[in-house]
Structure 1
Amino acid sequence: MSAYITATGRYLPGDPVPNDEIEDYIGKAGLASADLREMILGNSGIKTRHYAIDKNQQTVMSNAAMAAQAVRAAVARAGLGPDEVEMLAAATTMPDLLGPGHASMIHGELGYAPMEVMTAHGICSSGMMALKDAYLQVAIGEKRNAVAVASEFASRGFKSSRYAEMKSVIEEGTLPMETAFLRYMLSDGAGAAVLRSEPEPGKISLRIDWISLTSYANTEQACMYLGSNDNACTKSWGDYPTTTAAAHDGALAIRQKLSLLPHLVEVGIQEYQKLVAAGKFDPEKVTWYPVHYSSERMKELMIGEFKRRDITRGEMVNWYSNLTRVGNIGSASIYIILDEMLSEGLIKEGDTLVCMVPESGRFIISFMHLTAVAADRV
């Protein structure tokens, strides 16, 4: 049996926020200079992003509510009723609650009939984890349909008030670069996909040929992390006597160990080469490369490594990204990319797509191979 993405949906909160308005929403933390902000934004290439907080740093919409909106859009396009969805697989980096699971909260927000749910927790690759679970359930005939959704609410963690108790801010008036960097990089939003065992009549569906997820956590300590103040992660936020003590020590600030990012590029291309060598796909026959990456600088590093290794499709001219327009929405990014491509009619029957989602958390590399099909040709 096969599984097909027959409909997609996305939700981006509020109007696009340009670079010069970022701090109107998240405020200033420490003495981060305008020069630092411009350097980070210049490397990222991001021009606008979306926030689910307002200029008073108040939540406008919860993470679960954004996910529910994306699900509703996808389910409506699929022509399914609220009582016909058989499974919900959900992913996020920072859910609204430590428990229950994100999928349960989204299901409650939707109000759909009883169904199976699963929550994938992680960073960028968690969206692909949820999608793979839904894909396998449909492909083996366990479910006739499933919805996969990924959502992120990063801005809530970047509000200036979050850093008021940090020792470095109190004593030195500074925010560590590994934290300041992410404040200008991450965005909010949600994307969803409906999977069914048959393609949708009268339109293009995406057959999922395979999904590959590989962890390289054995090769390095954490690169992007939340809940500790150093990337060895030997002391968790829960090990402090109080959450105030954890916040003071900087354990509640999300961080990125920037010096490790080149390693992510290396293992990502290593995994790409392994898949090609195994005959999983022919790079010369790929129509599109929908790729999630954190910055335009990261794309430059990846293309440079392709060239260094003398890989034929090193230029990958058919990359598709919406990073500059919607920002880095982590686990939701690949869903939103595919929704854009389908909505804009960029994908034609017979096209093949290789989606790539590298995760810097502790290095997970995800690939997905899709084939665009029409129901009357299957």
Structure 2
Amino acid sequence: MATIRSLLIGTGSYVPDFVLTNDILEELVDTNDEWIVKRTGIRERRIGPGMTTWQMGVEAGRKALQSAKVPPEEIDMLILSTCTPDTYSPTVSGYVQEALGLKKAAAVDINACCTGFCYASDIADCYIKAGKAKTILVVSAETLHRITDYTDRGTCVLFGDAAGAAVYRACEDENEQSGILSSFMAADGSGADYLYMEALPVEEDPLHSDRKFSEKNRFLKMQGAAVVRFTASAVPHAIDMALQRAGLTAADVDWVVPHQANLRILQIIAQKFGIPNEKIYVNMDRYGNTSSASIPLCLDEMNDKGLLKKGQVIVCTGFGGGLTYGAFVLRL
């Protein structure tokens, strides 16, 4: 029996028009362009006030379908990753499914924070290899400005809004060596409080409690140094495991497409594996940290630039709240 592989056949992305520069942030908090660039590598990010997560997801998903040349009725499943849902019920994926006309598709949301695209791609691969779906659309969409405290200089300089998408299709051709070759997904809940936001007020007695739910409670809070320490060991481990499972080494890798969190973290990856900086794709200088949307946003940008070539080996790796982390190896 031929091995079923999950081929990447299309990419898509969307970013809002408004550019939030470091100069603008200097007017809001005690910071400056030099400080931000030196510590993060970020110069600007996009935000979309008035836009919903599902609206951005629709735009990215539509482009991915066009890129893949797949009509909506051929999509068997939609997996949407987000940590900024417009509604807890119904799912954000339900709105995207309807807007894109995915009449046959099952639709589900997942939240693995910044590792969401890796988790969603792994789930898609499992469904395809199990024969439960042939063509799957993965959408990662985030409106992070809605949970960002623009009085906190430690976090407001990091985050932007974006959506990215990918279409995976089953292939049973014995001669086809492309597709998702391996993956490794993990989490360390002991660090959950390093990066968090409250969803709803938690009270023992909601009818008689004096506790008031502050507007500030809905903002993202981060212990930056602790997160960097975690990723410095977790991300190389995830890449190591994914490469081992694929039977490959770092020397076989053409591109590393990492979550765009902090330039320092990407430098750690390059040093650990001896990968030249030019093989690690970076666009955080223009978009900042867009959580689960960052990896598919990179892939679509690379696709538009003609950087993705048949036969290339790509490692995608994500890390973030949960604390979640993971990597998957893809051959184009």
TM-score (norm 2): 0.87
Write the distance in 1 (CA, Å) between the matches of 2:210 and 2:113.
22
Q: Equivalent residue for 2:203? A: 239
Write the distance in 2 (CA, Å) between the matches of 1:75 and 1:2.
19
Tell me by how many angstroms 1:44 deviates.
1.3
Question: Unpaired runs of 5+ in structure 2?
Answer: none
Write the distance in 2 (CA, Å) between the matches of 1:246 and 1:41.
35
- Contact (CA 8 Å) 2:80, 2:140: kept in 1 or not? yes
Write the distance in 1 (CA, Å) between the matches of 2:184 and 2:31.
41
Q: How far does the alpha carbon of each residue in 1:255-305 deviate from its partner, in whole angstroms, 9 at most, with x for none?
A: 01123121221222233344456664211111111111311133344456x
- Contact (CA 8 Å) 1:293, 1:358: kept in 2 or not? no
Tell me by how many angstroms 1:338 deviates.
1.0
Write the distance in 2 (CA, Å) between the matches of 1:277 and 1:112.
36
Q: How does 1:55-94 map to 2 (within 5 A)?
A: 59=50, 61-94=51-84
Question: Unpaired runs of 5+ in structure 1?
Answer: 54-58, 161-174, 200-204, 229-235, 373-378
Aligned-pair identity in percent equals 22
Change (3 A) 1:157 1:216: closer
- Contact (CA 8 Å) 1:291, 1:319: kept in 2 or not? yes
Tell me by how many angstroms 1:206 deviates.
5.8
Answer yes or no: is 1:350 the counterpart of 2:311. yes
Tell me by how many angstroms 1:211 deviates.
2.1
Larger Rg: 1
- Contact (CA 8 Å) 1:224, 1:255: kept in 2 or not? yes
Name the count of aligned residue pairs: 323
Tell me by how many angstroms 1:189 deviates.
0.9
Counterpart AA for 1:39: W
1:6 to 5, 9, 31: 9
Answer yes or no: is 1:133 the counterpart of 2:126. no
Write the distance in 2 (CA, Å) between the matches of 1:82 and 1:97.
24
Counterpart AA for 1:211: S
Change (3 A) 1:367 1:34: closer
Tell me by how many angstroms 1:325 deviates.
1.6
Tell me by how many angstroms 1:99 deviates.
1.6
Answer yes or no: is 1:335 the counterpart of 2:296. yes
SS in 1 for 2:289: coil
Change (3 A) 1:120 1:82: same
Q: Equivalent residue for 2:43? A: 47
Q: How does 1:4-43 map to 2 (within 5 A)?
A: 4-22=7-25, 28=28, 32-35=29-32, 39-43=35-39
SS in 2 for 1:271: helix
Tell me by how many angstroms 1:144 deviates.
1.8
Q: Equivalent residue for 1:209? A: 181
Write the distance in 1 (CA, Å) between the matches of 2:165 and 2:210.
34
Change (3 A) 1:316 1:184: closer
Instruction: Tell me the C-alpha RMSD between the 2 structures.
Output: 2.9
Write the distance in 2 (CA, Å) between the matches of 1:279 and 1:82.
32
TM-score (norm 1): 0.77
Change (3 A) 1:73 1:278: closer
Change (3 A) 1:3 1:275: closer
Q: How does 1:1-378 map to 2 (within 5 A)?
A: 1-22=4-25, 28=28, 32-35=29-32, 39-53=35-49, 59=50, 61-158=51-148, 179-198=152-171, 207-218=179-190, 220-227=191-198, 237-239=201-203, 241=206, 245-247=212-214, 250-261=216-227, 262-276=229-243, 280-303=247-270, 306=272, 313=274, 317-359=278-320, 361-372=321-332
SS in 1 for 2:12: strand
Write the distance in 2 (CA, Å) between the matches of 1:115 and 1:279.
30
- Contact (CA 8 Å) 2:183, 2:245: kept in 1 or not? no
Write the distance in 1 (CA, Å) between the matches of 2:167 and 2:45.
25
Q: Equivalent residue for 1:376? A: none
- Contact (CA 8 Å) 1:91, 1:102: kept in 2 or not? no
